[in-house]
Each structure stands twice: as C-alpha cells, then as structure tokens.
Structure 1
Amino acid sequence: MPKRVIVVGSGIIGASLAWHLAKAGAEVVVVEAEQPGGLATRASWAWINASWGNPAPYFRLRLRSMAEWRRLAGEIPDLGVNWCGGLIYDLPEAELDAYAAERAAWGHPIRRVGRAEIAEIEPNLADPPLHAYHVEGEAMVEPLAAAEALLQSAVALGAELLPETPVRWLAEEHGRVVGVMTEEGVIHADETVVAAGAATAQLLDSVGVTLRISTPAGLLTHSNPAPKLLNGLVMAPGLHVRQTAEGRLVAGTDFAGADPEDNAEALAADLQAKVETMVRGAAGLGLDFCTLGFRPTPADGWSAIGRPQGRTGLYTVVTHSGVTLAPALGLFAATEIMTGERDPLLATFAPDRPGLT
C-alpha cells in the first residue's frame, strides 16, 4: 500500500511538497483553506537567489535550491522560470563590497560591474550607480502560476486537491497525528505535513506543539503593463523592482516589501513614483494594484523543516524564502517522509531547535 500523505497548504511550498511526494509514490491529498496557490505565495516578489540571507548554512541551502529550480524547470516546463540575473546595489559601498567578498568566498558567482556594464545590463536605469554587483544565475518566476503548475503536475501524478477546505485542527490518536479535521469530518493519513504559512503555528498548537513564528507584512506595487523596460531583477537602495511576464513593474522597499502601517495607499503611491523616476519609459505608467502579503517566518528568521518535537505522523515546513527554497524543501521533505533519510543541509533547521519552541 502506498503511504498516504496529507499536505496542508497549497502555496509554492505545499505545491512542491505535493509534487515531490506524488512522484515518490505517495498517495497525496492537498488540503487548502482558500483557492489553490495559498496566500503568501500570491504576494511574493518571487526572486530566486542565494544573494540574501546569513548564516552560511542558509546560503548553502538557498544555493542548492537554485540548482533544484533548474532540475524542476526541466521536468515541468510550465513553471516559466526566467533566468534573468540580478543587479545588486542596495547597500553602502563598503558594506556591499564586504558582502560580495563573503559570498564569493562561499562560492557564489557574484561579480562587480561598473557603470558602463550596468548600462548594458539594464539600459533603462535613469541614474545607474558607479558600480554594482551582478549575479547572472539569479531568476524570477510568476509565483502563483508556478504553484498552480506544480499542483496540476501533482494531480496528473494522482494527487487529490481539495480547495476551500479549511482545517479546523489536526487529528490525533494515542499521541500520533493521524490526519486533519475539516468541516466535513476527519481526513485520515499516515503522515500529515503542515505547510500552511501563517496558519501553521495554530494548527500545530492543536496537538500541543509549539512553533514560534512571526508574520511580518509586506506591500508590493504592480504597475499597469508596459513594453519591456527591465531585463532582470534590480535591487537598488530602498527599491527592489522587476518586470513580470505580462509587463507589470513590481516593486517594494526591498524584496519582502514594507509594512504599510495602516497607510497602504500612501506607501504604494510613493513606491510607484520612485519606480517611474528610476526606470526610463515608466513615467506616467501608473499603479494598477498592490498586494499585501504576510510572510510566515520562524522566530529566529531561518527555515523550520522536520518533525516538531519528534511527533510521529507529523511534519512541518515553514520558511520566509518560500519561492527560492520550494524545490529543495519539497525534495528533501518528501525524501525524509518516504524513506526517513534527512538531507545534511537541513541539519540546522529542525523545527524544535532552541528559540522556536
């Protein structure tokens, strides 16, 4: 009999888990409270990178996941990954140089570029810096479309998708998690994977498991569609911007977006004005809409993957960098659930490490 696994949550992490589990031969049921794709994924800037984040173990995990994105894109062409490269100059010069030197020492292919080359990489920057750093292998993806492609591919492998099916609590028998309680009753499984973003802590708490997470808000603006103005990702001081496949310029104060602090309209107008000043050809483009995401982030800032408190039948994946890490975490979690083998890259990311419980 195949192992029956419930995945709670269908954002980019849950979708990757579902596909990797189904490919490994599991009988998979994806339970989603809202529409397929979840909530946080829809509001992601969707930068696939290893340029952000310390310490070194987190960098190595992100670098591995960039390689897994290439593998996954080869198996699911509809993911639409754009290996466009990233231009980084959002730190003071000395700090930026030190940051780049550290990444280079860790094996990251980051290189310094001067103003002339910056103009070749992004000819529509109105005021390019004297120098920046460029990472050719960075990418972007349309996050909701990618999650939907993964879910569709999982369904094609036999997974069942249950949208608009809120989980009320985790079901437990004799200390073992045996599934989830929904409005229609209990859905049973051999393993239950909680990848429910901001709702993760509450669901774990229903079986007496504590996982401390925060959910900082982040606002991103989306312009009206325009002809191609940017070739890749641009990380400038106080403004990160990229152009989507349909031509919208998506911007935030950084890749996570800023907390609007009850003044989303003013922040969005300010960001859009900065975009139109920064990018030649964007003047008068106008704001179409903005998104407000709540990023599920373990209390110490780093991913939490594994069996919390060693609970049998229960596994969880919570991380802020969901888009970057989805392929690696989906693969690693599926392998551990199906075989018991834990990838060494997850050594420092247990969900019951000090500070999270």
Structure 2
Amino acid sequence: MSSAKEVVVIGAGIIGASIARHLTTAGARVTVVSESGAGGVATPNSFAWINASWGNPEVYFRLRARAMAEWKRLANELPGLPLAWCGGLCWDLPADKLETYAAEHSSWGYGIRRVDRAGAAGIEPNLAELPDFAVHVAEEGVAEPVAATKALLADAEQRGARIVSSTVMGLVQTGGRTTGVDTAHGLLAADEVVIAAGVGSPEIAATAGIRLPIEIPPGLIVYSRPYKKLLNGLVLAERLHMRQTAQGRIIAGSDFGGADPGMDAAATARELFAALQAMLRGGDGLELDFHTVGYRPTPIDGFPIIGRAEGMDGLYIAVTHSGITLAPAVGLFAAREILDGERDPLLAPYGLGRFAQ
C-alpha cells in the first residue's frame, strides 16, 4: 500500500462517507466531492434498517451479516455514532414463508426467535394490531442516516480528508486510465477515483464509456412530529414498516423502501399516516410533520455493484440499494482493494463484470 495514494471519492452519502473514512484511516489522501452535501440524495430518505433479513440468498446474507458486525466495530471506534440495536419484529410474509425464512436464516446463524401474539405484545405493547405469528431478531438495528454520514465524514476530515462541494462534470482519462475528476470548480487529479454517487453514478460513469445498469425507484416515507415513546424497535408488518427515531419521530413506509408515491404524493402520505395511526395505541395523538420521496440506486438484479471497472484502471465503483446496512463493510473492503489490491471473497459476486457492457 502507498500511504501517499491520492483518491477522489465522488459522493457524500453513507457509502461515499464510509469509503472516505476507511481510506483516510488506512493512510490515503482523500478528497470527497459532492454537489448535494453530506448525506447525498438517497441516504437522508432512507428507512435506515440494519439487517440481514429475508429475501436474499445465503451469499448475500453473509455480506450483510458481516456488515452488521462492522457497524459494531465502527461504533467502538467512533463513540456517539447514532446507532440503536433495537431489534426487529416482523410478520411481513405469509405464515408459511415466514416459517421458511425463520428456519433458513436460523440455520445460517441469524438470531431469529419465533413469537406468538402474546410475545409480540410483550415486545411492542403499543401495537393495536397484533399478529398470531411473527419473528423477532434482537440483533437488528437502525442508524440515524444523515447524522451517521456526517460522523463518518467528520472523522475522515479530522484525519486529513478534504470535502469539496462542486458539480462533477465527468471523469478525466489519460491513456486508458482514470486520472481525475473534472468539476465545476476545476480538475481534481487522482491515482484512483471512486464513484459512490448513488443515483448520479450512471451519468458519471458514462463519461468514461461505462454503463451502470441501475434503476431508481421512488419511495415515500412519512414522518410524525416528535412524540412520546410508542415503539421499542422496528415493526415490519404486512402493510406498513415503521420505527421511532432518536428524536421521537415515527417514520413509516409501506415497506422499508417506502411507498409508491402515486400521482399525488401528498395524498399518499396522508393515507399512509392514517394507517400508521391506526396501528398504534395512542396513535391518534400523532401529527404528520412531512414526507419525503427518495430515489433508491438499485442495480437491476437487486445486488450491489462494488469493485473496479474492468478495462479501466484507476476507477472503482460502489453503488447499492442497501447502503445503510452495507456501508461499513463496503468502506472497509473498498479501501483494502484500492490500496492493497486485496478483494474480499464476500465481494466476489458483485463486480460490474456480471453485466454485459
């Protein structure tokens, strides 16, 4: 590893912030460039669930489980990092599929506990609607996304990183190698460039002739005004996913990615908030404060794109929908690969080369 390696990270969301922080910790000279400021575009609108839950094959479960462990490492290194290991109560699947999920993930080492109606009431006593059968994972948690991103960037800055607010015009190439970033405020030269710009990544990559097959589905999330404590952890119900923030806001979407905003996002938000109120004892005292519509950078096969761009030296790409869960592992693994050339085996399935360019 060269401790003098110059790296430009494009993007100041949770993924870019983690990569920048891990690179500076390893001794690189890092510049983070972003037009949108700390948090980027997708991160502030995230449900921010940290998990290795249902719906994924074992190889992806292993990456997510490792990322959960890396969050705990980061919390030890950065006291005050806004995390809460509050646990998740889930019944967002038909009973047979929920049982299959519980059996499968238990065999993989995930800490799933089956609960009945009384058990669910003991975990979340303020639920007005209770399932006959649910599962609870005590090790799941949440991050306060913007505050966590700012904490990572602040630590990177303290270690010498520069944060530049500017529009990225494109990548600079010399002799088949990426050698810098052209910004509205001038050229940033680099030994290596990292594209971690979320929904903006495809446009930036295209300036080097690289196609990133990414979709950007919208997700609407509603936010209550701060309120007394009604929820102990994450609730992943059939029609609604919700949690309560450290500030007392209850946030919810039709699932963790948010709701389809439809033709009238404000009307959708009001309907969603009414469903939230109906699900909680004492929910009639909640007031809708605002809603957000976030756009999720989602590779078309649903899995991350993490690694070097084949045929283009000096360029690394890190784009994924599960940014909150994966951020600390992506940051650690990307820094090692960029500086030492060591690719972690957990990243093996997630190179850009799996897509035909």
| TM-score between both structures, scaled by the size of structure 1 | 0.98
Give runs of ≥4 in structure 1 deviating > 3 Å.
none
Q: CA RMSD in A?
A: 1.0
Asked if 1:16 is matched to 2:18, the reply is: yes
- 2:43, 2:112 → 1: CA distance? 27
Alpha-carbon distance, 1:354 to partner = 2.9
* Structure 2 match to 1:90: 92
Alpha-carbon distance, 1:2 to partner = 0.6
- The question of whether the paired residues in 1 share the 8 Å contact of 2:262 and 2:268 is answered with no
Aligned mate of 1:30, from 29, 32, 36: 32
Asked if 1:7 is matched to 2:14, the reply is: no
3-state SS of paired residue (1:348):
helix
* Structure 2 match to 1:238: 239
- Correspondence 1:1-357 to 2 at 5 A: 2-163=4-165, 165-354=166-355, 357=357
> What amino acid does structure 2 have at the position aligned with 1:72?
L
> What amino acid does structure 2 have at the position aligned with 1:149?
A
3-state SS of paired residue (2:335):
helix
- The question of whether the paired residues in 2 share the 8 Å contact of 1:201 and 1:213 is answered with yes
- 2:15, 2:90 → 1: CA distance? 26
- The question of whether the paired residues in 2 share the 8 Å contact of 1:78 and 1:146 is answered with no
3-state SS of paired residue (1:78):
coil
3-state SS of paired residue (1:324):
helix
- 1:329, 1:219 → 2: CA distance? 26
> What amino acid does structure 2 have at the position aligned with 1:323?
I
- The question of whether the paired residues in 1 share the 8 Å contact of 2:244 and 2:250 is answered with yes
Alpha carbons of structure 1 residues 53 and 155: separation in structure 2 relative to 1, 3 Å: farther
Q: Deviations over 1:122-162 (max 9, x none)?
A: 11011211120000000011100000000001001110011
Alpha-carbon distance, 1:201 to partner = 0.8
Alpha-carbon distance, 1:183 to partner = 1.2
3-state SS of paired residue (2:63):
helix
What percentage of residue pairs aligned between the two structures are identical?
55
- The question of whether the paired residues in 2 share the 8 Å contact of 1:167 and 1:182 is answered with yes
Alpha-carbon distance, 1:109 to partner = 1.0
The count of corresponding residues between Structure 1 and Structure 2 is 355
- The question of whether the paired residues in 2 share the 8 Å contact of 1:53 and 1:59 is answered with no
- The question of whether the paired residues in 1 share the 8 Å contact of 2:305 and 2:320 is answered with yes
3-state SS of paired residue (1:325):
helix
Point out the more displaced range, 134-143 or 279-288.
279-288
| TM-score between both structures, scaled by the size of structure 2 | 0.98
